Amino acid sequence: MPISFDSEKRIFKLDTKTSSYIFQAYKEDYLIHLYYGSYIPDNSVEFLAPHQHNASFSPSNPVLEEASGFTCDSWPMEYSCNGTGDMRVSALAIRNSFGNTSTDIRYISHRIFKGKPALEGLPALYSMSDDDASTLEVETLDKVTGAKVYLLYTVFENYGAMTRSVRVENSSDKPMDIQRVYSACVDFNSMDFNMMHLYGFHCKERTLVTRHLEHGIQSIASKRGSSSHTHNPFVALAKDNATEDYGEAYGFNLVYSGNFAADIEVDFNGSTRIIMGINPTDFSWRLEPGSSFTSPELVMVYSAQGIGEMSRVFHRLYNNHLIRGEWKNKKRPLLINSWEAAYFDFDDDKLVAFAKRAKELGIEMLVMDDGWFGTRNDDTNSLGDWYVNENKLKGGIKSLVDRVHALGLKFGIWYEPEMISPDSDLYRTHPDWCLQVPGRDKSIGRHQYVLDMSRQDVRDNIFEQMSTVLSNNHIDYVKWDFNRNISEAGSALLPADRQQEVFHRFVLGTYELMGRLVDAYPHILLENCSGGGGRFDPGMLYFSPQIWCSDNTDPIERLSIQYGTSMCYPVSTVGAHVSACGRTGYETKGNVAMAGTFGYELDPIKLNDEELETVKKQVADYHKYYDVIHSGDLYRLIAPMEDGHHCAWGYVAQDKSEALFTFVTMLYNCNSTFFARLKGLDPDKYYRDSWTGEVHSGALLMNAGLSFKNAPRKDGTSFTVYVEEVK
Ligand code: DGJ
């Protein structure tokens, strides 16, 4: 059993094939953390508790003798509480009916069971059978508030991964307010880590940042109402000596699309604590007697084989246990999107002309982006009026969809369901439906306000409007966009003492609407988007198997965006298109977009003969290499920031019989030869590679590598090398 409990020592042990996670119900029922790292078979590990730590000035429990050395402040705590002796960042703070926020949970009981329960109202990883996951639920109690706090752990034994979540129940007869409830807390007994995270902004999302931990608190967070372009809800703690291929790395990724925080504190003992969950800023949750609150889920991956293996575990886990529905393992249609081709300037004939040319090129779906509804010819109006603009689409959507389908292409459509333009019929009818604070100006972003998704009536209206289009037309794909951050987060329906719930209720409302859509139209391929990749997180991936990665389609700049994204998100989820803009030729545009879902975002009629031939070849390559890219494992060879000149990566089939590697020269260096060692192959197998045309051992290709003497000597060039086993 991957989860065990030693009833004598009261030690919990959660094992995967590669990792162990151990904690203990200690004296006075405190839960203390003992170990997280490579798999160890031993159960007798209680000596790992740190008896020698410096604890002067740290107050201790009055029942436990001071001589025992235990203080909540200096020992590794399993789930840290505010105001009762642990002075480090705390995961839980509940304000009790006396107005005090000191909180203290102690172990009561636990249960271990097979499988994985769903989280109410929240996206989460799922198990496909009782055998692929096991769950531990630990019941704790804060005696003073009467808060029952359940710590939930699910172990995915075959992945080196586990998930954490927390449920708080009010078992008292008085209301209480949750002021912070992080999804997990993990304490490490050293500070020899690099913190890796994904920073960015619009058109530069998820750029990898690495910094060494220092004493004090280092955080990343969003209070923008979405997970945001600025910081992705992903953090890795990699040991000082860890590299892409060697050493220990711990990855943390929150399954949540709203305000989040990851706080990492190195304390006076040189110990490290990470807590991650809903951002406590602008958050508070009123818990009435008998009611409960569930935190989002945190995914934790441990790798002893470097950062690369950490990423591969995330990829496998998400492909198998996060992505759902009909499109889970299905090849996605190769699409062309109208946005960069026409922006708002299109009509039905123009779209049909795109579709005709696209069909000749082998493209399989036309997506009509922003601009088809209300009176929208630019971004100043009509969000919320989800009915067709017949001045643009003569004969309505049905006629256009039929014409596109008649050409043999699928058809997709764009929505921005959570938004409302001040210049819209919806706003003129329901000015109270957007988020707002009485007496304050409503900030405007891209000429739009944000709908109050916490309201059922708002969600019902948007769903009905979308249903009218989706039920009466054969729509194959929906792009769900979200183009501003949230400010003045007040709801007209909530009482004053619940206004701090709005940000979270907004996210829950969006999840509910998205879930309703996915349930009602399971055949539709949903692609999320937020001004590019401003809401690229596992919460969204639970509903949509792919997300538009960035509005930046320049292939060179895309390299670092896609490199960062690959830290935890699999290639199948990364929306990537070839566009007309950018500083390279079409070959490199295609090679870079191939590290994603692949598609086009350009006017196909404007392509010259040479470009048309390149596109046809790309379409053929897309099909030829689809399996190895999408079912294979990613190996990053050269990071774009490594030497500033080259970037390289590859996908290796699970059985190591074939691989496709891509090499990009970002900035040509006249004095050095492009050289790379391949990775992920079987050293004992022999392969023919398409670069030399010769047969070499996997050992040679990985240890000696390949030298690309004849590679194009120009900025922005690229090439692929296909490697196939020779028996
Ligand atoms: C932002 C998206 O990222 C673009 O792809 C496009 O859909 C525009 N919004 C449309 O307004």
Tens digits of per-residue pLDDT, 561-577?
A: 999 999 999 999 999 99
pLDDT digits (tens, 9 = 90+) for 321-376: 999 999 999 999 999 999 999 999 999 999 999 999 999 999 999 999 999 999 99
- The pair of structure tokens assigned to 296 is 């989002």
pLDDT level of residue 163 (50, 70, 90 thresholds): very high
Cβ neighbors of 617 (< 8 A, separation 6 or more) are: none
337 lines ligand 1 (CB under 6 A): no
Atom of ligand 1 nearest to the CA of 414: 7
| 343 CA → ligand 1 middle, Å | 9
Cβ neighbors of 282 (< 8 A, separation 6 or more) are: 223, 259, 489, 500, 503
- Residues 222, 276: Cα–Cα separation, whole Å: 12
371 lines ligand 1 (CB under 6 A): no
706 CB neighbour count, 10 Å cutoff: 20
| 638 CA → ligand 1 middle, Å | 31
Contact 637, 680 (CB under 8 A): no
483 lines ligand 1 (CB under 6 A): yes
Shortest-distance Cα residue to atom 9 of ligand 1: 531
| 577 CA → ligand 1 middle, Å | 13
Give me the half-sphere count of Cα atoms (radius 13 Å) on the Cβ side of residue 610. 3
- Residues 224, 503: Cα–Cα separation, whole Å: 9
- The pair of structure tokens assigned to 53 is 């730590």
Contact 504, 512 (CB under 8 A): no
SS3 427: helix
382 lines ligand 1 (CB under 6 A): no
Give me the half-sphere count of Cα atoms (radius 13 Å) on the Cβ side of residue 660. 17
86 lines ligand 1 (CB under 6 A): no
Atom of ligand 1 nearest to the CA of 337: 5
Cα-Cα-Cα-Cα torsion 659, 660, 665, 671, nearest 10 degrees, comes to 40
Q: What SS3 string covers 290-337?
A: CCEEECCEEEEEEECEHHHHHHHHHHHHHHHHCCCCCCCCCCCCCEEE
- The pair of structure tokens assigned to 130 is 């009782």
| 140 CA → ligand 1 middle, Å | 46
Contact 372, 389 (CB under 8 A): yes
Atom of ligand 1 nearest to the CA of 550: 3
pLDDT averaged over every residue in the chain: 96
- % of the chain surpassing 90 pLDDT: 94
pLDDT digits (tens, 9 = 90+) for 66-88: 777 899 999 999 999 999 999 99
Q: Given this model, what pLDDT does residue 52 score?
A: 62
551 lines ligand 1 (CB under 6 A): yes
Q: Given this model, what pLDDT does residue 615 score?
A: 97
> Torsions phi, psi of 505, nearest 5?
-65, -35
> Torsions phi, psi of 90, nearest 5?
-110, 145
Contact 619, 578 (CB under 8 A): no
Would the CA dihedral through 663, 669, 673, 679 be positive or negative? Answer: negative
- The pair of structure tokens assigned to 451 is 């709908």
- The pair of structure tokens assigned to 112 is 């271990």
187 lines ligand 1 (CB under 6 A): no
Question: Which candidate in 132, 142, 481, 537 is catalytic?
Answer: 481
Q: What angle do CA 122, 126, 127 make, to 5 degrees?
A: 160
60 lines ligand 1 (CB under 6 A): no
601 lines ligand 1 (CB under 6 A): no
| 623 CA → ligand 1 middle, Å | 27
308 lines ligand 1 (CB under 6 A): no
Could you identify the residue written with the tokens 């034994």?
Answer: 157
| 339 CA → ligand 1 middle, Å | 7
Atom of ligand 1 nearest to the CA of 530: 3
pLDDT digits (tens, 9 = 90+) for 252-270: 999 999 999 999 999 999 9
**From 344, 367, 369, 547, mutation site for ligand 1 pocket: most ligand atoms within 8 A of C-beta:** 369
630 CB neighbour count, 10 Å cutoff: 17
- Fill in the amino acid letter for 468: T
Q: What is the largest CA-CA distance in the chain?
A: 83
481 lines ligand 1 (CB under 6 A): yes
285 lines ligand 1 (CB under 6 A): no
Ranges of H-type helices in 435-571: 456-472, 502-520, 538-541, 555-565
pLDDT digits (tens, 9 = 90+) for 512-544: 999 999 999 999 999 999 999 999 999 999 999
423 lines ligand 1 (CB under 6 A): no
Is the pLDDT assigned to residue 409 strictly greater than 80? yes
Shortest-distance Cα residue to atom 1 of ligand 1: 531
DSSP state of 613: H
Atom of ligand 1 nearest to the CA of 532: 3
Ranges of H-type helices in 572-684: 586-593, 609-631
pLDDT digits (tens, 9 = 90+) for 606-636: 999 999 999 999 999 999 999 999 999 999 9
Q: Given this model, what pLDDT does residue 60 score?
A: 86
370 lines ligand 1 (CB under 6 A): yes
- Residues 146, 98: Cα–Cα separation, whole Å: 13
- Residues 199, 201: Cα–Cα separation, whole Å: 7
- What is the enclosing helix (H) or strand (E) of 182? strand 176-188
598 lines ligand 1 (CB under 6 A): no
Could you identify the residue written with the tokens 């490490």?
Answer: 188
SS3 46: helix
| 467 CA → ligand 1 middle, Å | 22
- Helix-strand-coil percent breakdown of the chain, rounded to 5? 20, 30, 45
Rounded alpha-carbon distances, angstroms, from residue 488 to 192, 441, 448, 449, 647? 41, 8, 13, 10, 43
Q: Given this model, what pLDDT does residue 672 score?
A: 78
Shortest-distance Cα residue to atom 10 of ligand 1: 370
- What is the enclosing helix (H) or strand (E) of 232? strand 231-239
- Residues 475, 480: Cα–Cα separation, whole Å: 14
Please return the burial class of 481, using the count of CB atoms within 10 Å of its CB with bins 0-12, 13-18 and 19+: buried
Q: Given this model, what pLDDT does residue 51 score?
A: 61
Shortest-distance Cα residue to atom 11 of ligand 1: 370
355 CB neighbour count, 10 Å cutoff: 27
| 483 CA → ligand 1 middle, Å | 8
Question: Which candidate in 551, 554, 621, 633 is catalytic?
Answer: 551
- The pair of structure tokens assigned to 417 is 């369901």
SS3 274: strand
Atom of ligand 1 nearest to the CA of 379: 11
- % of the chain surpassing 70 pLDDT: 100
Is the pLDDT assigned to residue 650 strictly greater than 90? yes
- Residues 229, 546: Cα–Cα separation, whole Å: 16
205 lines ligand 1 (CB under 6 A): no
Pairing between β-strand 134-142 and β-strand 106-114 as defined by DSSP bridges: antiparallel
| 446 CA → ligand 1 middle, Å | 11
**From 376, 548, 577, mutation site for ligand 1 pocket: most ligand atoms within 8 A of C-beta:** 548
- Residues 360, 22: Cα–Cα separation, whole Å: 59
Q: Given this model, what pLDDT does residue 68 score?
A: 79
Q: Given this model, what pLDDT does residue 463 score?
A: 98
Is the pLDDT assigned to residue 43 strictly greater than 90? no
- Residues 596, 631: Cα–Cα separation, whole Å: 13
Residue 551 falls in the annotated catalytic set: yes
Ranges of H-type helices in 431-524: 456-472, 502-520
| 548 CA → ligand 1 middle, Å | 9
Cβ neighbors of 240 (< 8 A, separation 6 or more) are: 192, 193, 194, 212
Could you identify the residue written with the tokens 């508790």?
Answer: 49
Could you identify the residue written with the tokens 């953390």?
Answer: 33
Atom of ligand 1 nearest to the CA of 339: 6
Is the pLDDT assigned to residue 53 strictly greater than 90? no
Atom of ligand 1 nearest to the CA of 369: 7
Cβ neighbors of 47 (< 8 A, separation 6 or more) are: none
Strand order in the sheet with 686-689: 633-638, 646-652, 658-665, 717-725, 686-689, 695-697
629 CB neighbour count, 10 Å cutoff: 23
pLDDT level of residue 313 (50, 70, 90 thresholds): very high
Q: What angle do CA 505, 508, 511 make, to 5 degrees?
A: 150
Reported in sequence order, the residue ranges of 375-469 that DSSP labels E, i.e. its strands, are 410-415, 419-420, 449-450
| 418 CA → ligand 1 middle, Å | 14
**From 346, 382, 529, 601, mutation site for ligand 1 pocket: most ligand atoms within 8 A of C-beta:** 529
- Residues 291, 599: Cα–Cα separation, whole Å: 47
> Torsions phi, psi of 586, nearest 5?
-70, -25
| 605 CA → ligand 1 middle, Å | 21
Residue 132 falls in the annotated catalytic set: no
Is the pLDDT assigned to residue 229 strictly greater than 70? yes
Contact 577, 593 (CB under 8 A): yes
State the average pLDDT over residues 434-451. Answer: 97
